Amino acid sequence: MRLTQGAFSFLPDLTDDQIRKQVNYAMSKNWSVNIEYTEDPHPRNAFWELWGLPLFDIKDPAAVMFELESCRKSKSNCYIKVNAFDNTRGVESCALSFIVNRPSSEPGFGLVRQEVQGRNIQYTIHSYATDKPEGSRY
């Protein structure tokens, strides 16, 4: 199963040159860029791990690409994404987010059916990645 979250997720994986162009675009808009990674790609998992510090004052896409390559080397079996934040309205709102690295195997999700009060049925999504302990999921 291929995880589809963020911009470009239905397209083939972006090349480094395409990633650099997206980072350059974000910087041309004065958006702040950061890099995050996770082993748990559940759609409601909004708390990915931050790689280093946010790159607030960086104006050169090469610096972002250097940090991205460092993250890829260290966390090669994790999902990695690049985020760009627009603070023009006085808040940090995510203007662009896209996945730049995937684990070699994406286990996907399962649909869990639960019968609750009365004849109601609730469905939840379970990430197969969380069946194993953190650090050994991929």
**Rounded to an integer, what distance in angstroms lies between the CA atom of residue 16 and that of residue 3?**
19
pTM summary value: 0.79
**Burial, 51: exposed, middle or buried (Cβ in 10 Å; 0-12, 13-18, 19+)?**
buried
Per-residue pLDDT of the chain (138 residues; tens, 9 = 90+): 677 777 888 888 899 999 999 999 999 999 999 999 998 887 778 889 999 888 888 889 999 999 999 999 999 888 999 999 988 877 778 899 999 998 887 777 788 888 888 889 998 888 877 777 777 666
Evaluate whether 77 touches 138 at the Cβ level (below 8 Å).
yes
Question: Which residue segments constitute the domains of the chain, with CATH numbers given?
Answer: 16-106 (3.30.190.10)
Classified as helix, coil or strand, 81 is strand
